[in-house]
């Protein structure tokens, strides 16, 4: 990474630019996993949850794995050190309407090697819907990142001024449960 930073400059747009030519490269600061680490989606007449993993110490956004609800739960797409899995799905005909839906999602991120592009430990995702556990998945989840994940929540939809984000009654708790000697604890720094 140190050698790479001598040849690249990362600008505010998140892209890496070649220091000698000024041209944009395919390296990006926030390109990890080719999309969000975890996302609830609606498609193919389902509400579903996918998770992603990127063990690369320097991520690019060139591969975007997109598991679809037509696959079986647990289906994994892998390309190099990037992977994505289908954790949970529910046909839209079974999704409650005109009432609140309470989701609780517990994600235990994988740990990644500091000296190699690989996961050291598996992670997990457990999902509850209206108090009932509906998923308990294990596999690689997260990305190599000493800062740890960030979280965005909402329903992203096109609007007159771009994408609008709607959400309600959101609460989060972050707990560090693993103490890897290779990765600094971002909550203490």
How many other CB atoms sit within 10 Å of the CB of residue 92? 13
Query: Could you give the percent of the chain with pLDDT greater than 90?
Result: 29
What pLDDT shows up at residue 172? 66
What pLDDT shows up at residue 149? 64
Write the DSSP string, 99-122: S---EEEEEE---B-SSSSSBSS-
Per-residue pLDDT band at 188 (split at 50, 70, 90): very low
Whole-structure pTM value: 0.69
Helix (H) or strand (E) holding 6: helix 2-7
Mean pLDDT lowest among 104-118, 120-134, 159-173: 159-173
The residues of the chain that CATH labels 2.60.120.200 are 31-166
> Helix, strand, coil % (nearest 5) of the chain?
5, 40, 55
What is the CATH architecture of 31-166? Sandwich (2.60)
Residue 141 confidence (pLDDT) above 90? yes
Whole-number Å distance between alpha carbons of 130 and 107: 18
27 token code pair: 């390296």
Tell which wins on pLDDT, 53 or 134: 134
Whole-number Å distance between alpha carbons of 83 and 65: 7
Helix (H) or strand (E) holding 47: strand 46-54
């Amino acid at each position: 990474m140190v050698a790479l930073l001598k040849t690249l400059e990362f600008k505010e747009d998140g892209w890496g630019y070649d220091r000698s030519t000024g041209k944009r490269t395919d390296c990006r600061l926030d390109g990890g996993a080719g999309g969000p680490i975890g996302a609830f989606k609606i498609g193919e007449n389902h509400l579903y949850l996918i998770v992603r993993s990127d063990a690369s110490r320097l991520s690019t956004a060139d591969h975007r794995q997109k598991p679809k609800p037509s696959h079986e739960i647990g289906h994994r797409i892998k390309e190099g050190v990037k992977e994505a899995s289908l954790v949970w799905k529910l046909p839209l005909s079974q999704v409650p309407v005109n009432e609140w839906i309470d989701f609780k999602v517990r994600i235990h991120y994988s740990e990644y090697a500091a000296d190699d592009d690989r996961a050291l430990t598996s992670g997990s995702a457990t999902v509850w819907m209206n108090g009932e556990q509906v998923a308990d998945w294990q596999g690689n989840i997260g990305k190599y990142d000493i800062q740890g994940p960030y979280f965005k929540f909402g329903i992203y939809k096109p609007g007159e001024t771009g994408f609008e984000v709607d959400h309600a009654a959101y609460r989060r708790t972050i707990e560090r449960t693993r103490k890897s000697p290779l990765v600094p604890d971002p909550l203490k720094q």
